[in-house]
Structure 1
Amino acid sequence: MELRQETPEDRWEVEALFDLCFAPGRTALSSYRLREDVAPVGALSLVAVDDLNIIGGAIRYWPVMIGDHEALLLGPVAVHPTRQGEGLGAFLIQDSLERAWALGHARVLLVGDAAYYRRLGFSVLTGVEMPPPTNPDRVLGVGDWAGVTGIVSRHP
């Protein structure tokens, strides 16, 4: 699999992958309210393609604010069921995080399972709140979170 930046032509295939991998009500989640009318970070919206240019995985990032602090909201990230178990999801996350740091981003958060994401450097964020209804134990972050507290809000 090769990672490349998502293009506008990939949009519908990526959306179909997200629909396949997540519950039908995924767009009703609070994280989607933070994404409405905000463009994803193009340099960090990646797809994993095989030699036939078929997308096997995808990841997107979105700018958000916590008080006066900028952060990146990771997600969604999805791997096609036929490619799961190959480490592709971890590869997408690790590679995109390296790109985020290289671009000067200081912190990344997501809503997910701490047991899974811990191996990728994420930990539960205390003092950072996603809009309800979000389980605070699933609000995870990596990077420089020193002194960053408050409610996650849409990027202006």
Structure 2
Amino acid sequence: MRQFSEERPEDRWEVEALFDLSFAPGREALSSYRLREGVAPVAPLCLVARDAGGILGAAIRYWPVRVGEVPALLLGPVAVHPTRQGEGMGALLIRESLGRATALGHPRVMLVGDAPYYGRYGFAKLAEVEMPPPTNPERVLGLALVPGAWDGIAGSVMRAI
């Protein structure tokens, strides 16, 4: 399961079921979900990984957001089916999708997550960027896909319009 494809509309319910399985109940109450309401995901970056039998093993999504008037990508959710964890699929999905984001000209990506895990991909704390509450500011991380893309960026994260 090393081949990825863009998530198709017919994948939606299966991907949602994977996210439900992978995350705690009430995941949609998180502040990051409020930023996604009524906004289409960035389709070329929303990827799925299936095995030779067509079974979904992992998925990742990206969403457009703004920090003030500055556009950014919001990575997440990313999930690997429990039976496929430990195979490196999550890391491959993240690297593949970040490479695609760079190739498409996106300058910056952010997420809410664990710094020790996402730090290995180059993500670091965004001290001046505020997610809607209740988000732990220590978990607001960013990655510049273009050198300096986060320099001087500060403010509240808002839904893309």
1:17-55 CA-to-partner distances (Å, cap 9, x unmatched) read 000000111000000000000000000000011111111
- Alignment partners' CA distance in 2, 1:68 and 1:154: 11
State the match for 2:40 in structure 1.
Answer: 39
Residue segments in structure 1 that go unaligned for 5+ positions in a row: none
State the match for 2:24 in structure 1.
Answer: 23
Paired AA for residue 147 in structure 1 = G
State the match for 1:84 in structure 2.
Answer: 85
1:86 Cα shift? 0.8
Paired AA for residue 73 in structure 1 = L
Paired AA for residue 126 in structure 2 = L
Written as runs of structure 1 = structure 2, the 5 A alignment for 1:3-82 is 3-82=4-83
- Alignment partners' CA distance in 1, 2:71 and 2:33: 17
State the match for 2:159 in structure 1.
Answer: 154
Paired AA for residue 151 in structure 2 = A
Q: Residue 142 in 1 paired to residue 143 in 2?
A: yes
Paired AA for residue 31 in structure 1 = S
With normalisation by structure 1, the TM-score equals 0.99
Residue segments in structure 2 that go unaligned for 5+ positions in a row: none
Written as runs of structure 1 = structure 2, the 5 A alignment for 1:105-144 is 105-143=106-144, 144=149
**CA-atom RMSD, angstroms?**
0.5
State the match for 2:94 in structure 1.
Answer: 93
- Alignment partners' CA distance in 2, 1:100 and 1:55: 22
1:53-103 CA-to-partner distances (Å, cap 9, x unmatched) read 111000000000001110000000000001101111111001000000100
1:5 Cα shift? 0.3
Paired AA for residue 34 in structure 1 = L
- Alignment partners' CA distance in 1, 2:160 and 2:8: 22
4+ long deviations beyond 3 Å? none
